[in-house]
Homo-oligomer: A and B are copies of this chain.
Amino acid sequence: MKKINIGVLGVGYVGLPLTISLGKYFKTIGFDLNKERIKQLNQGIDTNNDFTKKQFKLSKKAFFTYEKKYLKKVNVYIITVPTPVTKTKKPDLTLLNKAIEIVAKYLSDNDTIIIESTVYPGYCETEIPKILKNLKKNFTLNKNFFIGYSPERINPGDKTHTINNITKIISGSNSSTVNLLKKIYGKINKNKLFKAKSIKVAEAAKVIENAQRDINIAFVNELSYLFNKMNIPVNDVIKAASTKWNFLKFYPGFVGGHCVAVDPYYLSFISNHFGFEPKFLLRARKINDYFYKHVFKLISKKLKKNSKILVMGVTFKENCPDVRNSQIPKLVELLKRKYLVHVYDPIANVAKNYSIKEKKIKKYDAIILCVKHNKFKLFGIDTLNKKLIKDGIIFDIKNMLGNYKNVIKL
């Protein structure tokens, strides 16, 4: 094939590391409709804190743009846009389909579209060709264009498992496409590649990874609800069980973010289409979605109306600025009905309609430790107690502190 010219559509948590890595070896365009983000990236600023200015500079063949015209020369389109769920928990493929529409305008014969976004099994090879057939008459898969699927494995906030050292699954609509993906992705991660048997298999592998995490957290969350009623500290039980060689250390907590809380719905959507309702999977979702209400109940039992509460941590996971799909804003809304609530999170990107304040109230009745940010780990019990009235309570949801009289755990 001719020289590889890559266009990455979407430069968020997934697209940015990809663009920066590919940009060391291939002509790569990082494309996004978000002008503000593009401006920042062109200045070497990543508001997700994943990359420094220096790292941007090392990626000599990459550049960022929101202007579609630059996509003209691209022959490999990699789509990394978010694929969330709708309010009714159905796959929301709007952004992905919009990206495909943009690609359709510039797609030439023999070009390749690679999807990194989560989709349900079957999507790439059935839906994408349909969309393209509508937009480009007679454009046919494996004749005029090719599809590759290589699910993203970005773990926001994780500096160990990065795109340059993790194994990447590759798959394609035919064997030459698989080879193209091998050439592209193998370059950036020393050929740590796994060829899936088919695109369907790769799509399925992606959704089950996060569904598995979801069910394991659902299990410990259910245990947490149960042992709370029995007055057995769930964290002590997990600690004891963890001394067995094959026990899996999962801890109770808020499940949020763009993968773990979302991917199970992609799987259940297509399951229903095939006449199978994955009840176990959906029960896990229910349990995990209930967690913030459980925490609210725990708190309500201990505090008087109008107590002053400081919520520490609001993001969907530790050391990551993302508040989208976090359960903590929901908890805060519940708390606000009964208490005076302030939220403190030095890392969070503030989402609209939700303000995060570090108010200068001297003493709170209670502090709720919600997220295990490294910055919070530095605070000991004494620092926190200074922010509390005498007999003030700390709700240590993430089991960050030792055992103290005024610290309540799950």
A residues with a Cβ closer than 8 A to B are 121-122, 153, 161, 166-167, 169, 194, 196-198, 200-202, 204-206, 208-209, 211-213, 215-216, 218-219, 222-223, 225-227, 229-230, 232-233, 236-238, 240-241, 243-248, 267, 270-271, 274-276, 278-281, 283-284, 287
Contact = CB atoms under 8 A, between A and B. Distances in A.
A274 B248 CA distance: 26
Given A212-B241, A216-B248, A280-B284, 12 more contacts: A121-B227, A122-B230, A194-B243, A201-B236, A204-B237, A205-B241, A208-B238, A216-B216, A218-B280, A219-B280, A226-B271, A226-B274
A150 B410 CA distance: 24
B276 A201 contact: no
Number of copies: 2
A271 to B, nearest CB: 5
Contact of A121 (B209, B230, B274): B230
A154 B262 CA distance: 38
Given A161-B245, A270-B230, A205 B276 contact: no
Contacts of A198: 236
Instruction: Please report whether the interface of chain A is mostly helix, strand, loop or mixed according to DSSP.
Output: helix
A280 B215 CA distance: 9
A169 B198 CA distance: 45
Given A202-B240, A274-B229, A247 B280 contact: no
A222 B278 CA distance: 7
A172 to B, nearest CB: 14
Nearest to A193: B243
A289 B23 CA distance: 52
15 contacts: A121-B230, A167-B244, A196-B236, A201-B233, A201-B237, A204-B240, A215-B215, A215-B216, A222-B281, A226-B267, A226-B276, A226-B278, A229-B274, A229-B276, A230-B270
A98 B1 CA distance: 78
B283 A225 contact: no
Contacts of A161: 245
A201 B240 contact: yes
Contacts of A196: 236, 240
Given A121-B232, A205-B240, A280-B222, A247 B212 contact: yes
Contacts of A223: 208
Contact of A227 (B153, B204, B230): B204
Contact of A248 (B122, B248, B283): B248
A229 B212 CA distance: 20
A342 to B, nearest CB: 33
A275 B248 CA distance: 27
A216 to B, nearest CB: 7
A212 B280 CA distance: 14
A241 B209 contact: yes
Nearest to A122: B230
A297 to B, nearest CB: 13
A212 B275 CA distance: 28
A407 to B, nearest CB: 15
Which of A276, A280, A281, A283 is most buried by chain B, counting CB atoms within 10 A of its CB?
A280
A274 B230 contact: yes
A244 B284 contact: no
A276 B221 CA distance: 13
Given A243-B194, A244-B167, A219 B230 contact: no
A106 to B, nearest CB: 31
A242 to B, nearest CB: 9
A259 to B, nearest CB: 12
A282 to B, nearest CB: 10
Contact of A212 (B208, B226, B248, B284): B248
Given A211-B219, A216-B216, A233 B281 contact: no
Nearest to A234: B204
A219 B268 CA distance: 13
